[in-house]
């Protein structure tokens, strides 16, 4: 799987693009501190979007591995689990942020 065409979709190993996505998510998670200290809604929305992209990509990779390739990559399975685990956390953060803004709105 590591040497497949899919693993080099953008001309670089997919592990590199995954690492860039995780780095972006770390930055977005840290931007502005907490909601209590003024974290912007845009940061929560972008984080949820990045997590959704990661989960959707992981789902596609898993489907491709099992349906087409008939084999699995251990690194891909671990990455997919990480992406799927981050999505509900990011969506919860966004939902709480939106809810808090509605409560504070006059």
Distance separating alpha carbons of residues 25 and 83, to the nearest angstrom: 11
Distance separating alpha carbons of residues 3 and 32, to the nearest angstrom: 40
On average, the pLDDT of the chain sits at 86
Give residue-wise pLDDT tens across range 54-99: 999 999 989 988 898 788 888 889 989 999 999 999 999 999 989 9
Q: Is the pLDDT of residue 46 over 90?
A: yes
35 confidence band (pLDDT: 50, 70, 90): low
Which alpha helices (DSSP H) does 1-106 contain, by range? 14-30, 41-63, 74-104
For the whole model, what pTM was predicted?
0.83
Cβ-Cβ contacts under 8 Å for 103 (sequence gap 6 or more): none
**Residues above pLDDT 90, as percent of the chain:** 46
- Give the end-to-end CA distance of the chain in Å, rounded to a whole number: 55
pLDDT of residue 102: 83
- Mean pLDDT, to the nearest integer, of 21-33? 91
**Chain Cα centroid distance, residue 104:** 29
């Amino acid at each position: 799987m590591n040497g497949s065409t899919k693993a080099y979709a953008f001309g670089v190993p997919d592990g590199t693009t995954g690492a860039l996505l995780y780095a972006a998510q770390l930055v977005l998670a840290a931007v502005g501190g907490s909601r209590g200290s003024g974290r912007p809604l845009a940061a929560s929305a972008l984080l949820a979007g990045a997590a959704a992209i990661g989960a959707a990509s992981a789902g596609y990779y898993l489907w491709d591995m099992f349906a087409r390739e008939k084999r699995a990559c251990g690194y891909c399975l671990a990455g997919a689990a990480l992406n799927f685990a981050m999505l509900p956390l990011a969506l919860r953060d966004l939902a709480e942020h939106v809810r808090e803004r509605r409560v504070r709105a006059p």
